[in-house]
Amino acid sequence: MDLLIPTILTVSLAIYLLLNKFHNGLHRIPGPLCASFTDFWKVWYASRGSNHRNDTYVDTHREYGDIVRIGPNNVVFADPLAIQEIYGTKGSQQKSPHYDTFSMPVKGHQFPSLLSSLDQKWHDQQRKLINTAFSATAILKYEPWVDDTINVLLRELKSRFLVGKGQSESLELYTWLAYFAADVISDLTYGQRTGFLETGTDVLGIQGNVEKVFQFWLLFAQMPILDRLTFKNPLLLFLNRHGIMESKKPLLSIVHRHFEARKKIWEEKDGREGDRVTLIDRFLQAQRDNAEKVPMPPERHAVTMVTAGSETTAITLASIFYFLMKNPECYTRLQEEVDAITPDQLHTAGDSMVFPWRVAQTMPYLDACIREAMRLHPAQRIPHNRVVPEAGLVIRGQFIPGSTEVGIYPSVLHRRKEVFGDDVETYRPERWLEDSQKTERMKASMFTFSYGKYNCLGQNISRLEIYKLVPSVMRALQLQLKHPDREWELKPGAFAMPKELPVYLNGRV
Ligand code: HEM
């Protein structure tokens, strides 16, 4: 009798693990043995700690091949030709359940967002309504406000860290880039910087809070049930609905306050554009213009922009500067390109000279350095999985049964030797300038912003920020790593954030 319960539990567990292993016939696909039994293998893989190389699943694919089973119901691909087959119009159009873990309950209620919603119809309607706010032409309207925030960043760095023209004390560059990215996106979204740059502090602890959430997201994205058992467990949501144990969400309160203020201004303008158009103005206009009267949550969309657009851009900026500083010959070559642009070609913003988007786009080496950093350091480490439709899909010649989750990791694609060359582990911006056909192939295999109808909606905005900021900073300041011989280390989390990036600054102009 004493052994009955343990025996039943052991046998049940064994049956459960075996059912997982043979689930949908996926046991024929190679992969780590433990991964075929349980998603805990992915949780373990994701939580192995920090690493200076942003190379999720690169080792796994090298060991098991281009098609690997990394979970009882999860198969990942390494071949660039799989991009179209998974994410193209004939591929799978359904996000996998882990996206739901990105939704933030408020007072115990869950609200869909463009990023987290699993409802295709809702997503497609919303994206169609707000798409124009992110078009290549729309973003030109945002450029003067990006100039403004670049000026604030340069002003703060100079006044806080440069004494005369000598070398500064060391400072945490990542922190300042994160302040910049968060201030730009809040300014573009509701017409106000949050004030990270001006105060030089993490206002209301927002960034620290977001960072903690990212650590959980990395794990929850591998095994969404962990989210449902913890942050979204029904008892906790019930208590939250009654005002008990509701955790503070300072970012949501700030967006709410600014949303209401901006809405008032927009209503007063009554449809006239005025001299300032924010993303919220565009969302409100889209809501007013939408003939079919599809219900739309402009405030939710504002929250999504502020959360999706901050850390991703900061990490990308940090990687661009990091690789340049680690490779002084590339830094010098880019500096020459930057210095060849004459002051009359630049915008004046406050005390600073800022590179216009139009000019930055004509700088080939700048473009190469940015693409090369994005190749080696894609900001997102969470999966972009899709669910295979009921009838199944053939992906790279392999039949994958319906309801399987399939995906591709950017770090894997970005290290394909047949596309990028044998030296894939090396930072070499020149690879983007050698042969136009090869460059086109490389561009088609880049996955930093994902692909298909769920790809990054804000990519034009982030390019606007990045292509303008990098040369503007390099013109004004010389950056130098505090520890040039060390590789940087990354924090574990959904986004490949550096643990630290201490640098010295020298004034230039
Ligand atoms: C370098 C900076 C950025 C990177 C690397 C990046 C990357 C990504 C990735 C990988 C996705 C997920 C795609 C998928 O699930 O398949 C995504 C989605 C998204 N991003 Fe970005 N992002 C960046 C900047 C931004 C900015 C600045 C904004 C806002 C202005 C933004 C807004 C969004 C939104 C709204 C989605 C959800 C799109 C949808 O599901 O329809 N992102 N981003």
Q: What is the mean pLDDT of residues 373-398?
A: 95
8 A C-beta contact, residue 465 and residue 459: no
Nearest protein Cα to ligand 1, atom 11: 456
Residue 189 has pLDDT above 80, yes or no: yes
State how far the Cα of 312 lies from the Cα of 316, in Å rounded to an integer. Answer: 6
The CATH topology of domain 4-507 is: Cytochrome p450 (1.10.630)
Nearest protein Cα to ligand 1, atom 41: 454
Best mutation site among 278, 312, 454 for ligand 1 pocket (most ligand atoms within 8 Å of CB): 312
Residue 289 has pLDDT above 70, yes or no: yes
**Is the minimum distance from the CB of 304 to ligand 1 under 6 angstroms?**
yes
Q: What is the mean pLDDT of residues 285-306?
A: 91
Q: Where are the domains of the chain?
A: 4-507
Spatial neighbors of 240 by CB under 8 A, at least 6 apart, are 105, 107, 108, 246
Most confident of 52-61, 160-169, 367-376: 367-376
**CA dihedral angle for residue 470, residue 472, residue 478, residue 481, rounded to 10 degrees:** -20
Residue 408 has pLDDT above 70, yes or no: yes
Least confident of 44-48, 199-203, 359-363: 44-48
pLDDT computed for residue 460 by the predictor = 96
State how far the Cα of 165 lies from the Cα of 478, in Å rounded to an integer. Answer: 11
8 A C-beta contact, residue 352 and residue 472: yes
Per-residue pLDDT of 42-70, as tens digits, reads: 999 988 866 678 888 999 999 999 999 99
pLDDT above 70: percentage of residues in the chain: 98
Mean pLDDT score of the chain: 93
**Is the minimum distance from the CB of 411 to ligand 1 under 6 angstroms?**
no
State how far the Cα of 104 lies from the Cα of 97, in Å rounded to an integer. Answer: 15
pLDDT above 90: percentage of residues in the chain: 78
State how far the Cα of 366 lies from the Cα of 361, in Å rounded to an integer. Answer: 8
Residue 361 has pLDDT above 70, yes or no: yes
Q: What is the mean pLDDT of residues 249-256?
A: 87
Per-residue pLDDT of 490-505, as tens digits, reads: 988 889 999 999 999 9
Q: Is 241 left (phi over 0), alpha (psi -120 to 50) or beta?
A: alpha
State how far the Cα of 456 lies from the Cα of 56, in Å rounded to an integer. Answer: 20
Annotated binding-site residue? 369: no
Residue 210 has pLDDT above 70, yes or no: yes
Best mutation site among 376, 384, 456 for ligand 1 pocket (most ligand atoms within 8 Å of CB): 456
Pairing mode of beta strands 74-77, 405-408: parallel
**Is the minimum distance from the CB of 461 to ligand 1 under 6 angstroms?**
yes
Per-residue pLDDT of 432-467, as tens digits, reads: 999 999 999 999 999 999 999 999 999 999 999 999
Nearest protein Cα to ligand 1, atom 36: 456
Q: How confident is the model at residue 331 (pLDDT cuts 50, 70, 90)?
A: very high
320 forms beta bridges with none
pLDDT computed for residue 429 by the predictor = 98
Per-residue pLDDT of 96-143, as tens digits, reads: 999 999 888 888 888 889 999 999 999 999 999 999 999 988 899 999
8 A C-beta contact, residue 170 and residue 481: no
Using CA atoms, how far residue 468 sits from 311, 353, 443, 449, in Å, is: 17, 11, 21, 19
pLDDT computed for residue 50 by the predictor = 64
Helix or strand or coil: residue 106?
strand
Place of tokens 């990028």: 420
Q: How confident is the model at residue 201 (pLDDT cuts 50, 70, 90)?
A: very high
Per-residue pLDDT of 412-440, as tens digits, reads: 999 999 999 999 999 999 999 999 999 99
Least confident of 56-70, 118-132, 287-301, 348-362: 287-301
